[in-house]
Amino acid sequence: MGTLATGIEAVVFDCDGLLVDTETCWTVAESAIFAAHGHPFGPEQKALVIGHTVEAAAQVMAEYFGRPDAGADIAAELLERIRGELSRGAAALPGAAELVRACRAAVPIAVASNSPRELLDAALWSAGLAEYFTHSFAADEVRSPKPAPDLYLTACETLGVAPKRAVAFEDSATGIASARAAGLYVAVVPTLPGADLDHDWLGTSLDEPEVRDWARRLGA
């Protein structure tokens, strides 16, 4: 739905669930924590935490469990569980490597992630994508992570591009809100099927022919 933007001078990618299949790691960790507190974990619960920082997701869980003061303890457990899952490896999602390479050949690119630097680096290296990014920005490196615009504004400033001339590729409402607030064009490939998300362009995969054709025309 929608048309991918023309006249683009930079592309900024989310990481988790967009470039790299790390949401599987997050879901395993989140499911275990929900189970430990006597709660099931399904699409409804996933929608509550997807796209958030470790700290924000943990606080959502704490509130959900009726233990609002337990956010810090849950965050520590969540980080440790995700770290363990990521150590087993995470693959690039379909079309991600090809799209990143095509965009990099035409315009400046960056990653803007709501993960802390440790998890972002682990994900990009595991998926074989780290070598393509000279610039990446993590949640613990800005004053306010997503849904605030800081990550995308920092990325655009570093790349020397006005936000209105940049595309953000996102998969979650939290990331979309951040990109929208920063003024980027928002291309969305949802992690959760059927999610009703704000977008300028909406697709089902980074491997769609429309995306590949668009990337080949970048910089022309």
d(C-alpha 189, C-alpha 171), whole Å: 5
Segment (H or E) for 187? strand 185-188
In Å, what is the CA distance from 121 to each residue of 64, 75, 97, 166, 207?
A: 30, 19, 16, 23, 23
d(C-alpha 71, C-alpha 96), whole Å: 33
- Calculate the CA dihedral of residues 78, 121, 139, 149 and round it to 10 degrees: -130
Assess whether 213 carries a catalytic annotation: no
d(C-alpha 185, C-alpha 57), whole Å: 26
Assess whether 14 carries a catalytic annotation: yes
**Residue in 16, 21, 150, 171 annotated catalytic:** 16
Segment (H or E) for 137? strand 136-137
Catalogue the active-site residues.
14, 16
